Amino acid sequence: VSDDTAPVTLRERSLDAVADHIQAGGAKNVLVMTGAGISTAAGIPDFRSKDTGLYANLARLNLPYAEAVFDIGYFRDHPEPFYILAQELYPGKFYPTISHVFIALLAAKGLLFHLFTQNIDTLERRAGVPGDKIVEAHGSFATQRCIDCKTPYPDDKMHEHVLAGNVPRCEECNGLVKPDIVFFGEALPDEFREKAHYAAAADLVLIMGTSLSVHPFAGLPGMIREGVPRVLFNMERVGGLGARSDDVLELGDCDAGIRKLADKLGWRDELESKWREL
C-alpha cells in the first residue's frame, strides 16, 4: 500500500479528516498507545532519542551495554546503576504534558476506550485518566517488592531510599527490592495479556511518542482491524505505520500534533484550561 492509497473510513488521510470522523460520531472507542516520547516535554528523557535519550547518556554508569540498567539478570548482581537512574526518574518531580491531558479529556468526553502505556512515570494517572482505563504494560513506579520472596515493600521507605540514591533491601529476606516495572527478561503484567485483545475492538487508534520497538507492546497496532484509522503522533515514522490506507502520520512533536487535533475538534481552550488547572 502506498502512502496515497485512498482511505476507506476517513475522507482523506489528514488530521482534519480524523477530527471530522470523531465529530461525526465515528469514533466512540478510542484506543491510545503511548511511550516515553509523550513525557520528554515533561523533562523525562526517553530511551532512544539520539542525543537526549537515556541510552545516549549512560556512559557514567559503566554499564556493559546500555539496556543492562533495565535487565533483571544484570540488576541481580549490580542494582546500583538502576537506583542512580531511579533517583532522576522517580515520579513526583514531573508535571503531565498536553498530550497526557488530551487523553484525560478523551476520557472525560466518554470516548476513551483504553490507554495502553509503556511509560512507568504514572503521568497519565496524574493528568486525570481514570485508573480503570489504563493498562500499564510495563508496570510502574507505584509499587515495589522483593525480587526473591516477592514481599511488597512500603511506599514511604522506598521513597526515602530512592531519593537518597540507596538500594532498598527486603525486610523479610534481605533480597533486592525493585519497583514493579518490567525489566528486560521479565514477563509483562497479567493485565496486558488479558486486555491486549481489546485492540481488535477499537474504532480509532492514537499512537503517541513511541519507537514501537519493544515487544509484545509493539505488536498492538497490528491487532487493529483493517479500516480503523491509526494516527501516529511521533518525531519519526515507526512500526510500519502509514502502510494502511487509513493511517495518518503526524510527524513532529506530539504536543504540537495534539494541539493541532484539539484545534480542529474545537477542544483547544478546554484542553489548555484542563492542563493549567491540574
Rounded to an integer, what distance in angstroms lies between the CA atom of residue 222 and that of residue 204? 13
Whether 138 is catalytic is yes
Q: Least separation, in Å, of the C-beta of 252 and ligand CNA?
A: 7
For residue 146, say whether it is annotated as part of any ligand binding site.
Answer: yes
Residue 140, classified by CB atoms within 10 Å of its CB into exposed (0-12), middle (13-18) or buried (19+), is buried
Q: Answer whether 147's CB lies under 8 Å from 76's CB.
A: yes
Q: Judged by CB, which is closer to ligand CNA: 48, or 125?
A: 48
Q: Least separation, in Å, of the C-beta of 193 and ligand CNA?
A: 16
Rounded to an integer, what distance in angstroms lies between the CA atom of residue 8 and that of residue 204? 13
How many residues in the chain? 278
By CB under 6 A, tell whether 220 contacts ligand CNA: no
By CB under 6 A, tell whether 179 contacts ligand CNA: no
By CB under 6 A, tell whether 136 contacts ligand CNA: no
Own/partner contacts of 159-162, CB < 8 Å, gap of 24 or more, are 159/90, 161/83, 162/83, 162/86, 162/87, 162/90
Coil, helix or strand at residue 127: coil
By CB under 6 A, tell whether 254 contacts ligand CNA: yes
Residue of the chain from 57, 151, 174, 213 that contacts ligand CNA (CB under 6 A)? 213
**Contact stretch for ligand CNA (CB under 6 A) within 3-11, 45-53, 58-66, 100-108:** 45-53
Residues that bind ligand CNA (CB under 6 A): 35-37, 39-41, 44, 46-49, 53-54, 118-121, 138, 209-211, 213-214, 234-236, 238, 253-254
